[in-house]
Chains A and B, each alone.
Chain A
Amino acid sequence: MFPIEHVLFLAALLFSLGLMIIIIKRNTIMILLGIELMLNASNLNLVAFNNLMPEKMDGQIFALFVIIVAVSEAAVGLAIVLQVYQYYQTSIPDSVSDLKE
């Protein structure tokens, strides 16, 4: 077993990368990918902290939930992106500005 800190550092790195992708990338699909990355970083954390109390399965169960929620969210998000693309012929959120001003 390698120490927990390594896992935590990896998770933090993944989370930061995901956040950076969300902020920097223009395309909606890339933003959704960033979100997935951040969810996986949190999953990594849940699994790592579960190792401190192995007799309980809370962390692993929660990770499963998060994976399920992430799948649903990705499905809904992609659906919205598809609809938006059909209507506006673009998937860049900044160009969709009908409600502004």
Chain B
Amino acid sequence: MQSNISYSLFFEICLLLATTLPLMSFLFSLAIAEKYSWAVSITAPFLLLISALSSLVVFFSVLDEQPYQFAMAWMVVADQTFSAGVFVNVLAATMLLVVTVISFLVHLYSIGYMAGDAGFRKYFAMLGLFTFSMIAIVLANNLLIVFVGWELVGFSSYMLIGHWKEKPEAARAAKKAFVLNRIGDAGFLVGLMILWTHQGSFDISTLDAINGFSEWQTAASLCIFCGVTGKSAQFPLLTWLPDAMEGPTPVSALIHAATMVAAGVYLMIRIFPFFTPTALDVVSIVGIITSLIGALAALGQYDIKKILAYSTISQLGLMVTAIGSATPDAAFIHLFTHAFFKACLFLAAGSIIHSLHHAQHQFHTHFDVQDIRNLGGLRKKLPVVFAVFLLAGSSLAGLPFFSGFLSKDAILTGLVTWAGPDTSWKWLVVMGAFAVTFLTMVYTFRMIWIIFFGSEKKTSGVDLPESPVVMQVPLLILATASLWIIISWNPFINTRWINPALVHSWNVTILSVIWVLVALAVAYRTRNRASQLKIFLHAFYLDHLIEWNIKNVAMKFVGMASRIDKKLIDPFLHGTAYAQVLVAHVTGWFDRALVDGTVNGFTSFVRGVGSVTRSFQDGKIQLYIFWSIFTIIIFLIWTLL
């Protein structure tokens, strides 16, 4: 065990609290009787509040300090020791803060949103488990623990997507998310094996200290990126995220917008020095493809949560592109701002859905509340949600004076610097990124316009109640966090607030301001022209492509494998079996004939000797006399001669 002296006991207690209280919440929610499930609505947010406050302490302690390290032997296999521990640098502390704060706000929000739900206890238990495993990913000092947390968040995500498991779509979506994540995780596992073979260590700090690049590093980092592709919904494994919207909306906000899907991006930032330039090129290309697909697909959606889901995919793609362009700091700033404004957007959408559901119950009407074509003119009926949506949406669209503007500016600056003055394929990536920011503006504007402006559609006859206070408070906090102030004092330049060393270029800043305003103008002009392209609605038929792949390519491959199995492997196995039976027969014969035969031979010899000897004494007196005389004669001859 080792620990740093410069950190106080208070710090360590706070770290412990921040880590374990979500686990406590999980255990408590599981253990409590169904009768007292109302208690969960008090304990779970309370425990998370303490956890969030503790991580605030941790964050300010680590800021401008050496990273805190603690490790101990976990298990010994043969002569290899696997260690477990935490490695808290500024990055990890910031991420810890994001996770616990958003988790707390979502817990608070869920009290209102999930009130009266049958699976209330299970829901909060899974939220606690998720938060704990996410913290494990964030703080762990080696990739093995990260992998354990990685699987645990996947599991809790599965449970939460399928929370309303009576709905067949929800069950199907949960299964799909799980399976696609497994595909990615298989790659991750292979990456870990390559890493272990060459490096003999999973330690993140040693990983970051490797000098030079080699072939195996490219392979390992691409395999780890495969895991990231599954978890962070990158091309081509992105289709599970829109389906995951079948889960409760707060879950979408916490897991499928702010934290879990960002875990992949976070992991890449954490082990960034390990990635080789070749791997980074692949990463940037995959990132920009994902980003474009997400942005275009968001343009064609009508389901409010699906728009947000595709928007999340697009923003995650942008972060991955930023990592590919060797500016992980910019990617992290975007992750940070995105976590707040996207969680806010999701919770606001949840508020709309919640209010409409209640209204439907009251007025006995029925329509799909998530379809934006049924909404409209809600700004008067739901003013708080409207204000919040406007703030967070502006941040997502990247308007100046919002956090999204600053983080996107950082990414774009990084990309332009990376592409350099020469013309190369890298400029295609840069152009793609600009196109994504443009499209983001367009679809965000379209969404806000259709929901809140215009005339009321199906909602005209109903009275909408505002959401309860527990749901409004998190919304307001998160909306405030969408302002520029969260990352920088200056609304146009990233100052030293979170990350010190970022290149700033006024050219790019001015360009992106103009670009966003142009996009706003275009979006306003085309606000009523709904994009009818089916290809956008179906997200470029990626789902169909995967399905077709499974049906044709994979099944053919399986058929071929089965034929090979029957034609080649089965005869071989049968031959081996026959040979074995033959050998067994030979051995059996040998055993019977030689081994048993020797023993039997001895016995029959002895029996023969016995019967010969016995034949001298068969009770005939005269024979006795004969034999005695015979013997005496022999004896006499023997002695006399």
Binding site for B on A (CB under 8 A): 19, 22-24, 31, 93-94, 97, 100
**Cβ of B619 < 8 Å from any Cβ of A?**
yes
Residue in chain A with minimal CB distance to B619: A100
| Interface size in chain B (residues, C-beta < 8 A) | 7
Contacting pair B619 A22 (CB below 8 A): no
Return the CB mask of B614-641 against A: 1 if under 8 Å, else 0: 0000011110011001000000000000
Number of A-B contacts (CB under 8 A): 17
Contacting pair A97 B622 (CB below 8 A): no
Residues of B within 8 A of A22 (CB): 622, 625
Contacting pair A23 B620 (CB below 8 A): no
Residue in chain A with minimal CB distance to B618: A100
Find B619's partner among A23, A31, A97 (CB 8 Å cutoff). Answer: A97
Tell me, rounded to whole Å, the shortest Cβ–Cβ distance linking A53 to chain B.
26
Inter-chain CA distance A42–B445, complex, in Å, is 152
Contacting pair B621 A93 (CB below 8 A): yes
Residues of B within 8 A of A31 (CB): 622
Tell me, rounded to whole Å, the shortest Cβ–Cβ distance linking A12 to chain B.
13
Residue in chain A with minimal CB distance to B629: A19
Contacting pair B621 A23 (CB below 8 A): no
Contacting pair B620 A94 (CB below 8 A): yes
CB-contacts of B574-629 with A (<8 A): 619-622, 625-626, 629
Tell me, rounded to whole Å, the shortest Cβ–Cβ distance linking B620 to chain A.
6
Tell me, rounded to whole Å, the shortest Cβ–Cβ distance linking A66 to chain B.
20
Return the CB mask of B7-48 against A: 1 if under 8 Å, else 0: 000000000000000000000000000000000000000000
Residue in chain B with minimal CB distance to A31: B622
Tell me, rounded to whole Å, the shortest Cβ–Cβ distance linking B623 to chain A.
8
Residues of A within 8 A of B625 (CB): 22-23
Residue in chain A with minimal CB distance to B621: A93
Contacting pair A93 B622 (CB below 8 A): yes
Q: Can you list 17 A-B pairs, Cβ within 8 angstroms, ordered by A?
A: A19-B629, A22-B622, A22-B625, A23-B622, A23-B625, A23-B626, A23-B629, A24-B622, A31-B622, A93-B621, A93-B622, A94-B619, A94-B620, A94-B621, A94-B622, A97-B619, A100-B619
Tell me, rounded to whole Å, the shortest Cβ–Cβ distance linking B220 to chain A.
91
Greatest chain A CB density within 10 A among B620, B622, B629 is at B622
Residue in chain B with minimal CB distance to A19: B629
Residues of A within 8 A of B622 (CB): 22-24, 31, 93-94
Residues of B within 8 A of A93 (CB): 621-622
Tell me, rounded to whole Å, the shortest Cβ–Cβ distance linking A96 to chain B.
10
Tell me, rounded to whole Å, the shortest Cβ–Cβ distance linking B618 to chain A.
8
Inter-chain CA distance A32–B635, complex, in Å, is 26
Residues of A within 8 A of B620 (CB): 94
Inter-chain CA distance A93–B622, complex, in Å, is 9
Inter-chain CA distance A93–B619, complex, in Å, is 10
Inter-chain CA distance A31–B625, complex, in Å, is 12
Residues of A within 8 A of B629 (CB): 19, 23
